[in-house]
Amino acid sequence: MNAAEMVEVVLPGKVEPEGLEVRQGPVPTAGPGQVVVRMEATGVSFAEQQMRRGRYYDQPPFPFVPGYDLVGTVIETGEGVAPGLAGTRVAALLKVGGWATHVVVDAADMVPVPDGISAAQAETVVINGITAWQMLHRKARVRAGQTVLVHGANGGVGSVLVQLAHAAGVQVIGTASARHHAALREAGVMPIDYRTENIPARVRELAPGGVDAVFDHVGGRSVVDSWQLLAPGGTLVSYGSASTRDDEGSKQWPVLKLLARVWLWNALPNRRRAYFFNVWAGRALTPSRFRARLRNDLTEVFTALHRGDITPAIAAQLRLDRVAEALRLAESGTVSGKVVLVP
């Protein structure tokens, strides 16, 4: 591969991981207000697992290049962008397009990555970190001394949530399969086996008065249980419907059902709140406010990483052309942390 070539991974339709196509082409150029970033790390998130099944609620039409986020170095700046940005290491939240060696990004969407953090380490906390931070501090507004329930406490978002909660002085009850319990206990989490234990009964034993917040990516029946486990003044943050990942039928329906439920719960006089968290909320209506908040919160996450409040959990690091293997690994449920792709 010569230096003027780009490699990208294309999702051509609903395919098994082996159906992803690795293509080569010319390196793109930056238009006005844009930069070209040479990717140093991108990753496999839950969104791509849904996208390859056609199940992500607002994915673009096939074919497209997946890749929710990336970390890399600016190698070219377009018109209206400070040329001094070239050579800077940045992170960007994209939704799609990150699984490529060179990516065009709007300069306004970049967030600087501080020195002392490697690209792969930073990658573990871009989408996962921003999601965890905003749910914890902007939605649930946790305070020291509170107790929260984190579903999938060993997962990409869950593991960051746990660490940020502890940094804020919050106690954590976490669900995970038994193989992850020893590591969770070591991390100060009270673990519950979602496969063999009655989650609501166990949570009531551990927190008789209810929990102050629940972070639920499972959807379906789990959300109803989560709502019922809240203490007065508590907050439910639902951020996905993992339980419907392999379902057929409408990809919008599980989300619409969740939104309807959240709306209804909030309409009732019950001293509790429910949110359906979407990291992209507000982007279309107030883009400058959205970008400022994203930059602020991701900078907080990078600072926490640098300080050691978060340990970057890299499950595996694989080359971009081994993307099928990376996706299989991420979907296996056997790994802890993030599967990272590098050029």
For the chain, what's the residue count? 343
Task: Count the domains in the chain.
Answer: 2
pLDDT of residue 1: 46
Question: At which of 276, 302, 325 does a domain end?
Answer: 276
User: Which residue carries 């789990």 as its tokens?
Assistant: 222
User: Which residue carries 């943050």 as its tokens?
Assistant: 237
- Domain range for 99 is 5-113+313-341
Residue 79 lies in a domain: yes
Residue 140 lies in a domain: yes
Token duo for residue 256: 């619409």
Cα separation, 116 vs 312, in Å, equals 13
- Alpha carbon of residue 237 to chain centroid: 14
Cα separation, 77 vs 74, in Å, equals 7
pLDDT of residue 6: 97
* CATH code for the domain in which residue 55 is found: 3.90.180.10
Q: Are residues 71 and 16 in the same domain?
A: yes
Q: Are residues 333 and 219 in the same domain?
A: no
Burial (CB < 10 A; 0-12, 13-18, 19+), residue 88, is middle
Residue 237 lies in a domain: yes
Residue 42 lies in a domain: yes
Q: Are residues 243 and 156 in the same domain?
A: yes
* Helix, coil or strand: residue 293: helix
Cα separation, 139 vs 153, in Å, equals 18
Q: Are residues 94 and 149 in the same domain?
A: no
* Helix, coil or strand: residue 236: strand
* H or E element, residue 70: strand 69-77
**Position 107: which residue type?**
A
For 276-298, the pLDDT digits (tens) are 999 999 999 999 999 999 999 99
Q: Are residues 248 and 325 in the same domain?
A: no
Q: Are residues 10 and 79 in the same domain?
A: yes
Q: Are residues 198 and 136 in the same domain?
A: yes
Token duo for residue 200: 């609501």
Residue 306 lies in a domain: no
- Strand-pair partners of 274: 236
Q: Are residues 96 and 180 in the same domain?
A: no
Q: Are residues 36 and 67 in the same domain?
A: yes
Ranges of residues in the chain with a pLDDT under 70 are 1-3, 241-249, 251
Residue 302 lies in a domain: no
Q: Are residues 136 and 267 in the same domain?
A: yes
Question: At which of 231, 249, 276 does a domain end?
Answer: 276
Round to the nearest angstrom and report the end-to-end CA distance of the chain. Answer: 12
**Position 311: which residue type?**
T
pLDDT of residue 247: 60
Give one DSSP letter per residue of 306-326, joined into a string.
HHTSS---EEEEEEGGGHHHH
pTM, two decimals, is 0.92
Cα separation, 129 vs 301, in Å, equals 6
Cα separation, 223 vs 24, in Å, equals 43
pLDDT of residue 246: 59
Residue 218 lies in a domain: yes
Q: Are residues 135 and 108 in the same domain?
A: no
Q: Are residues 163 and 226 in the same domain?
A: yes
Residue 285 lies in a domain: no
Token duo for residue 91: 């992170």
* CATH code for the domain in which residue 198 is found: 3.40.50.720
Cα separation, 242 vs 233, in Å, equals 26
